[in-house]
């Protein structure tokens, strides 16, 4: 997406803010935006992240899961932006 729209790289997207929620059995990390929520569950061997529009990913660690969620969030935001000349 970003290679096709280089002019959008100058647009900054507000980063997701993560919080830890105590839910059985181990809790989950959650971030919300106007688009919906992203949820991360740390498993024994993998980290699972879900988000709006059916987003699902399996990552090796928590930082990777947060990065995947942020990339998805940024792509959703940028996909709704109209650049000059596209109106």
* Strand ranges in the chain using DSSP code E only, listed in sequence order: 19-21, 28-33, 36-42, 47-51, 55-59
Mean pLDDT of 18-27: 82
The pLDDT of residue 85 is above 70: no
pLDDT tens digits for range 31-68: 999 999 999 999 889 999 999 999 999 999 999 999 99
Closest of 30, 35, 29, 18 to residue 74, by C-alpha: 35
CA 42, 43, 47, 52 dihedral sign is negative
Total-model pTM? 0.80
The pLDDT of residue 8 is above 80: no
What Rg, from alpha-carbon coordinates, does the chain have? 15
Show the CA angle centred on residue 71, arms to residues 4 and 3, nearest 5°: 15
């Amino acid at each position: 997406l970003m290679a096709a729209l280089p002019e959008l790289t100058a647009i900054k997207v507000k980063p997701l803010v993560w919080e830890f929620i105590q839910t059985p059995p181990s809790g989950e990390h959650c971030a919300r935006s106007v688009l919906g929520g992203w949820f991360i569950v740390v498993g024994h061997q993998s980290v699972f992240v879900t988000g709006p529009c059916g987003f699902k990913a399996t990552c090796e660690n928590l930082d990777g899961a947060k990065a995947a969620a942020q990339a998805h969030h940024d792509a959703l935001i940028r996909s709704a932006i109209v650049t000059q000349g596209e109106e």
